[in-house]
Structure 1
């Protein structure tokens, strides 16, 4: 095994050199080799984590850095899961713990990922860029019909990936407004054409040659046939790429680029594919109806003649084209007239009008289907939301049922909807062991029934006010000291809060929460300055209850007296009778304080057996082992 250890040390050295040279894939290969050779070699796991962060930072998703990959999370993870991933990696990559090469840079990348993904607005904007950044619009070939839109580089608009335009262009050779080519060097892939209605000249890519285009000037369709450039075209224009405006040969005026097609439909790719399916069904149905109509045309002709003679209405059953030929199968006819009067007007619908009619019908079908799908999706989302809310309520009810009842005082009466006021700070239960270590400042109470408040959660990234101990860096909660005010949000949950706490605003605008005289706090029983992320929970979650005797003083600390369980009760405590048990918590050990506990001073009138001048503690903020602990144990502890 010792020979394997030497090989593992050499492999680790090679991995460190490759990591310094930013060859992350090679570094990972050699650190894994070292791990396989000698799994117990010191520093392998932290170094492997560091390398994985660098590898993830080089991945790009739609041109964006994969911040989720750096945290080892997924885009669908909720905020709590993201926080868990960050906390786990932060404990491993913190420079005080991870001495690997490049650990500082990996921790910086991790901090940047957390800074972006922990902010809801930044995360939402990042997700949008990540999801939409990779969409590309393709221009179909000349044989496939006119495109929905050309890329923006061709000097005109880019069409979003819409259900209507994509489906229509797939099933119909629709009349489009093609953009002119970009301003680039001399090229041979363009041609000149003219609108026969307004005599306006245009230069387009040969992609649109022999297609029916829509004139931006007179808004009429025309067939794009190749012709010579206009005589009054400047030489500079002939020798280079066409400009962004079309040139008129007879009036010398210009027209703007054609605008984008109608918008407003859902751009979801899944909705677009469904819309395309609907378009195909509509077209197939219209085709069958048209074929049935023309297959029965002789009988239709006789019916029309009979009806025309009986009603004195002259309705033509056959029209001629502009060149005198008979109208072919597939054309549509426009009839107009009134009963007992001659026909006012009749003409054949041209190719462009036929397409417009089909597109109009298709759009109506698409809008109807989209509304149906959107309503179905909303109903599903509402159902999921209701189920989630029901599950959360059941979970809260379950947690509430698991909290023992107090002996005398009902602490829930101290935290009703009417208890909350503006500019108050309340403690809230955390997600570690359920003790109230979070704080929120209430900016404004919007309503009481139902409860709705505008609040900000208090947070802190430093512990310098109590010395050099990096308490937060080891993953612990900070329950006293200086806090910053976070972003505003609307909050509705009443059961999240424990009690109103005393606070002061510092000159720098931060919120200061420190032990005050008469308050009851829980102290970590086994607390040590050597605690780190490896300390097991069963060691951390052991507490002693104390009452603060004087306000915190930065030079002298804060004196506290232990509380002893009163015999015969679960949540009633009294002060220690031996004054020698009073202890002073110095400034450097202020993180012994775990959380503040709501209390009620008993007067003796609550019940026939209620003890006077004793403190009853809120069972929701008191560890279960202290509530269930036998009073005899406390009495023995008191004698000691």
Structure 2
């Protein structure tokens, strides 16, 4: 009669089972193509068979070209086909995984089928991860340079060409000029040809030059020429002119956890803020400036007014707003200063509770640099009562992590009005949060900004056993 299905030939009902048996046998000996052929025919003859559908899907994944992630996921691998959206690809992957799920109650599933399904799931997962993984970060454009002091070769990011950098080995400052790479390293990236070199604007004055110029304007006579921060080491009596200096950036080691550079980016500056700037003798933040205006455009410019405390490098006390200036780089700025405005152009800066500062210590006999004692203030400073503080010491195994040095009755010290001169500078710091299994010691720990620490405190020492 019309509409009735054609009669099934004798023996056809047993054919899918025979083909599945052949497919499983082929899988057990690693003949994937034969297993794929038999499983596909079985699925065509019996579309309702879960066993046939499972084996056919697994075989399709295993025989797909492993170099094509789309083919492994059983998707069209055609350039003319429209690419799937992220959500559509995710839905397809979930459907494929579902179709490769073995029924745990099906005792008839052979070990060869289970192994094939596991391998197919692994390949599909790898292909999906490859298609959804974010693109790799571009390789850094680098150059080679040599320290003028110890002659050690270094490889830096190309953005530091012409900058004054600190040698990680001898801690001397040198001008990073590009040199040919060592033979074993090969060229990091092709150097720019002269015709392709970007135009450079006249470099800004260093902090030392700015301060000296301001002193001249005030009629002061400089007793001696102060060395600028990161001044290039003179070699064989050859002088390096100031206009060859392109920036005041001193490259320092990275912090262990917190990115302090994010707190002094170009977008962090606003009118009315008070900022600490690095000094020129040892690079510690001892100058203060008031932000008068920020001009953002193709080139960053910030209008400031220097704060005058009556003496050079005065870290605390009362400051008057002084001469105006314009800077073109954020590299000379250290951190935002917490202060009290006591008059229209008068500001007062003293340690606040939980702030970290450095005290002047004994003079280092070998390097000539001043040693420092690092402290955390436990209370804010007042002229009547002073302030309490505790000493910090470095945690071994980390570059810039510190903890309380003392405990008990002698752990809290007092800073009185007459001791203010012992303060050197404030150090930007963040209290470190600890998760389960942290390698940090018990108790509070602080991460200190490496740019405000002397090089000798940044050396990485292994923890004591």
The alignment's TM-score, normalised by the length of structure 2, stands at 0.46
Instruction: Choose between structure 1 and 2 for higher RCO, CA contacts under 8 A separated by at least 6 residues.
Output: 2
Higher strand proportion, which one?
A: 2
Higher helix proportion, which one?
A: 1
